[in-house]
Amino acid sequence: MSWFESFILGLVQGLTEFLPISSSAHLRLTAAFADWQDPGPAFTAITQIGTETAVLIYFRKDIVRIISAWFRSLTDRRMRGDQDARMGWLVIVGSIPIGVLGIVLKDQIDTTFRDLRVIATTLVVMGVVLGIADRRAARDEAGGRHRAAKQRKSLQDLSVKDGLVYGMCQAMALIPGVSRSGATISGGLLMGYTRESAARYSFLLAIPAVLASGVFELKDAGGEGQAPMAETLFATVIAFGVGYVVIAWFMKFISSKSFMPFVIYRILLGVVLFALVGADVLSPHAGEVSGG
């Protein structure tokens, strides 16, 4: 991997991590379209540490408050009903599915799931799911001629059951093309949460999973068949800077805008990818072996 490739891939990671279009798919597709070697899951996981660091800084006040309340709830029973303490427990509960499935499906994540036909399928299918979830939220918010606007749930209403559902949605993002934010936000909207609440919990829920995955993959970074460590760290820094700008914009965007532009983009990209692979313009295993 050259420094130029590292810069471009770090830029792609930062631009796509928080948008519901799948950063792992875009890293894979960028390499395939540019005829570069697939940077691999270790590169993806480590560069995500950069974007999650952006989340830590952007939500720093919330995170400090949640961690503080959670630790106090361990010894003070009165704190166990506190919303921030509950959020700490709900983030832990929601992280269980991806932790278990990430270990169980590691071999598939590194190989089978990176097939471009799989990515094309998940881009289209999850695009349709996001579109349905977005339309339902818009209908509730706007009401209609014969129905009043429906009050949607906030994070105050988050339960253990809903936290686990969010967690299962997040675990689906182990397959490139699904999108961590797209899956969890879709799940939240379908469960009746507001756009902002769904996105906020989605980003908080991602922190332990992404940081743990990145640290776990550090042992493989720079090894045989993996992107060099120096270039990977450079891409991580780029991803952090770009990611911070994107998350600030996205949180403002979702407060009043529809997800339909992302839905259309996902479906079109998936269809184009199917066409290119079907016409043998692009191999489903293009650049399959990651390299230095």
Please classify residue 203 by burial: count the beta carbons closer than 10 Å to its beta carbon, then call 0-12 exposed, 13-18 middle and 19+ buried.
buried
pLDDT at 222 over 50: yes
Give the model confidence (pLDDT) of 71-109 as tens digits: 999 988 888 789 999 999 999 999 999 989 988 887 887
| Two structure tokens written together for 67 | 């961690």
Quote the mean pLDDT of the chain: 88
Closest CA to 259 of 198, 175, 177: 198
Give the model confidence (pLDDT) of 226-250 as tens digits: 678 888 899 999 999 999 999 999 9
- Cα angle at 234 between 232 and 240, to 5 degrees? 105
Tell me how crowded residue 213 is: count the other CB atoms within 10 A of its CB: 24
| Two structure tokens written together for 138 | 């818009």
Give the model confidence (pLDDT) of 54-71 as tens digits: 999 999 999 999 999 999
How many Å apart are CA 164 and CA 143, to the nearest integer?
Answer: 29
Place of tokens 């939220």: 137
pLDDT at residue 145 in the model: 66
SS3 144: strand
**Global pTM exceeds 0.75:** yes
pLDDT at residue 15 in the model: 94
Give the model confidence (pLDDT) of 150-195 as tens digits: 889 999 999 999 999 999 999 998 898 999 999 999 999 999 999 9
How many Å apart are CA 51 and CA 55, to the nearest integer?
Answer: 7
